[in-house]
Every structure is written in C-alpha cells, then in structure tokens.
C-alpha cells in the first residue's frame, strides 16, 4: 500500500475529500502523515479527530526554509511516505524535499495553469473577467505552480458571482484530486 502525506495550511476540505475516498476504498493509499505550517488551522483538528499522525510546525521556530523542510523530510522518512500531496499548502517547497521526492510531490491549484499562479487564484481569474475557470493538478518543481500538468478540469463561469465560482472550483477539486492521485498511484505500482 502506497503511503501518502498530505500537506495543508487551512480548512482542509481537500484533506477531507482524500480521506473520504480512502475510507470508501476509492483511493488505494494509506494517509500516513499530515503536515501543517499553521498550528491554528482547522485541518489540524481534522487530522487529530481522524487519528492521522501529524507534524504541525511554526516556520518562525526554524532558522530557514531548508531547516523546516529537513524536519518535514525526517517525518516523511519516519512514516515511510512514498508520495507527497500538497492540498492548500501555502508554502514553496524547497530543494530539500524536491530532491528527496523527485516527481513524487503533487499540488492542486484553483486555476487553469499556467494562468493565475500564486495566491488568490480564483479572485485573480474572476477579476480578470475570464469566461472559463478551472482546476489544475501538477507536479511540483522549483517554480511556483510551474511543474508539469497532470490533470485539469474547466467549466464555463459566465454569469456566476465570485461565491458561486469558488463553490464550483472546490466541488471540482474534491473529485479531481482523489481521482488523479489514484491514477498516479496505479502508475507507480504497475
Ligand atoms: C484549495 O482551493 C487549493 O486549490 C488552494 O487552496 C485551497 C485549499 O482549500 N491552493 C492554492 O491556492 C495553492 N496555490 P482546503 O484547505 O479547503 O483544501
């Protein structure tokens, strides 16, 4: 069984979706570790309730990004993590993790990449006046939201307000991410 770590910084609705898919037998993985850089984030409570081992840290407690990524790496090794899933993890991953997990770190981003990288992607796209919005799942490399795209799903957002567009994006994410992770796992285990 492939062991995954989910990295998150916030509400953790993608964390929920991944866990639900595992529990429903639709995602053949063990959620071995949850990593969070925000001790007060809701996802921390969720992982605790679900008895998922967690590594919660405050970046301010470390002298550098490399130092906390090294601490994360040690946790990943300890929990024998095969694949790292970024799910609303609002930090750039350093070479410490990228070199240890080449082509084994994936991210979900709420836009049709390469458009609207970075923070507040949904609002960026909405303010731009796009007619089509969507979600991307991609490999993580040293460029922000820049790695190879694995999956995308688009929808027509004409006439939607920002709230409706956000709800649509999240509903798509909660389906697309577990499905895409399952496909990657199947390829890894063939
Ligand atoms: C998701 O919409 C995810 O795509 C986005 O953060 C949200 C996290 O929601 N990620 C990024 O913007 C990464 N650049 P969640 O905590 O409820 O899963």
Q: From the CA of 121, give the closest atom in ligand 1.
A: 12
DSSP-derived secondary structure for 154-189: EEE-TT--HHHHHHHHHHHHHHHHHHHHHHHHHHHH
Structure tokens at 17: 């979706």
55-59, 92-96, 185-189 — which is least confidently predicted?
185-189
Q: Whose CA is nearest to atom 10 of ligand 1?
A: 88
Give, in degrees to the nearest 5, the angle at Cα 123 between 39 and 37: 15
Q: Whose CA is nearest to atom 9 of ligand 1?
A: 88
For position 189, what pLDDT does the model report?
81
The answer to whether residues 133 and 152 touch, using CB atoms and an 8 Å cutoff, is: no
Residue with tokens 């990004």: 65
| pLDDT tens sequence across 87-142 | 999 999 999 999 999 999 999 999 999 999 999 999 999 999 999 999 999 999 98
In this prediction, residue 78 carries a pLDDT of: 98
Percentage, residues of the chain above pLDDT 90 = 97
Global confidence as pTM: 0.97
Provide the percentage of residues in the chain whose pLDDT is more than 70.
Answer: 99
What is the dihedral sign for C-alpha 5, 101, 146, 2? negative
Residues in contact with ligand 1 by the CB-under-6-Å rule are 8, 10-14, 87-88, 108-110, 121, 145, 173
Query: Does 109 participate in catalysis according to the annotation?
Result: yes
């Amino acid at each position: 069984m492939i062991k995954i770590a989910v990295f998150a910084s916030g509400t953790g609705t993608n964390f929920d979706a991944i866990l639900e898919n595992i529990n429903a037998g639709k995602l053949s993985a063990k959620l071995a570790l949850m990593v969070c850089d925000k001790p007060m984030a809701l996802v921390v409570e969720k992982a605790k309730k679900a008895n998922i081992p967690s590594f919660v840290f405050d970046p301010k407690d470390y002298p550098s990004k490399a130092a906390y990524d090294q601490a994360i790496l040690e946790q990943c090794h300890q929990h024998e993590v095969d694949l790292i899933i970024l799910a609303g993890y609002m930090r750039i991953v350093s070479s410490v993790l990228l070199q240890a997990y080449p082509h084994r770190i994936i991210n979900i981003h709420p836009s049709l990449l390469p458009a609207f990288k970075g923070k507040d992607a949904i609002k960026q796209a909405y303010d731009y006046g796009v007619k089509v919005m969507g979600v991307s799942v991609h490999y993580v490399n040293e460029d922000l939201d820049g790695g190879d795209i694995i999956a995308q799903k688009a929808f027509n957002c004409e006439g939607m307000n920002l709230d409706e567009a956000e709800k649509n994006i999240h509903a798509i994410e909660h389906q697309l991410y577990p499905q895409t992770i399952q496909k990657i796992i199947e390829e890894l285990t063939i």
